[in-house]
Amino acid sequence: MAGKIKPKMTTTMCFCVRDGREYPVDKFYEHKNKEFYPKGYIPYCKECCEDIVKYYLKKTGTLESAMWYTCAFLDIPFIKKVYENMVAFKNSFQVKSGKADSEYNIFNYYYDFLWGGKSSKKALETWESFSDSDVDYKDIQGVTKSDENIKAQIEKLELDWGFQETEEDYKFLIYMYEKYTKGVMIENPQQEDLYRDLCLARLEKRKAEQGKIDTDITKIQSRILTLMNKLKLDEFESTKPKTISEQLIFAKIAQIEQTKPADLYKEPTKYKDYSKLRKYMKDLVLRPTLNTLIGNKDFNLNLDDAESYNIEDE
């Protein structure tokens, strides 16, 4: 028999990404997708989950669309039967109280019917993420107003990553890209494409390991290592932040690698004899030697100008 989910007390605190603060784990809802949420909790505290529902309720004007968007935002399945049970439960109190939808803890009700004490055993076994939703967005009241925005987001994902079979694939690719490029300054589109190729190779390897595709994992791993070598990700540098001097050096190296060194310096003759060694050899070595050979004693030298040769006084 399914019981209400209780947070696993492996840690006493969790971080709310919306508030930017840590709270005790009892302030968070547990999430069943442990692959993308390894700590086992929705990364928004319970109050923020309710605020997200209220935000979409105000934006879309219907409770159904507000819950659909909230589920998509938090990677929670939108199940029609669960939603209907939640609405019936809410309405039983709402008739007496006369309160508006925004005054109820809507997400708490929905979560309770989905994964909590009012859920069924089947629900706990099968429903995991938003990809398990059983309602198409076109059938959600109020969602069709945002069809163009959703279409634009999908088109952007396909431009970045090509067509992927599931929403989970896109999430994995975005997760890996953010993981690899954290703290990295992208210098040009070619570098960005290499990072994307690496993420796509990682996704292919993941599917092969899960048996979803039949391909040679060894070849995929070889391609991953080649891409990592090009991106210098196989050098395992220290993650310690680079100093300003180091950043400038790396930026200059990257600039030189992509251009001809001569193009970086428009006045190379300006630095031809920067230390004045050539002038010193001409005036204080070669000229006196020549004058000695031809017997000329007028060297035309002024020792007061010695500073111009960077010669320090003894």
pLDDT digits (tens, 9 = 90+) for 127-156: 778 888 888 766 676 555 455 566 667 777
Distances, alpha carbon 150 to alpha carbons 76, 156, 157, 161, 210, in Å = 18, 10, 11, 16, 30
Domain residue spans of the chain:
13-145, 271-307
Q: How many residues are recorded in the chain?
A: 314
Decide: pTM greater than 0.75.
no
What's the pLDDT score for residue 39? 79
**170 within 8 A of 157, measured Cβ to Cβ:** yes
pLDDT at 141: 61
As a whole number of angstroms, the distance between CA 307 and CA 101 comes to 86
- Torsion sign across C-alpha atoms 33, 38, 41, 45: negative
Neighbours of 176 (CB within 10 A): 19
Which ranges of the chain have pLDDT less than 50? 1-10, 120-121, 123-124, 145, 313-314
How far apart CA 46 and CA 24 sit, in angstroms, is 11
Q: Is 40 left (phi over 0), alpha (psi -120 to 50) or beta?
A: left
The H or E element containing residue 23 is strand 21-24
Predicted pLDDT at 4: 47
What pLDDT, on a 0 to 100 scale, did the predictor assign at position 294? Answer: 75
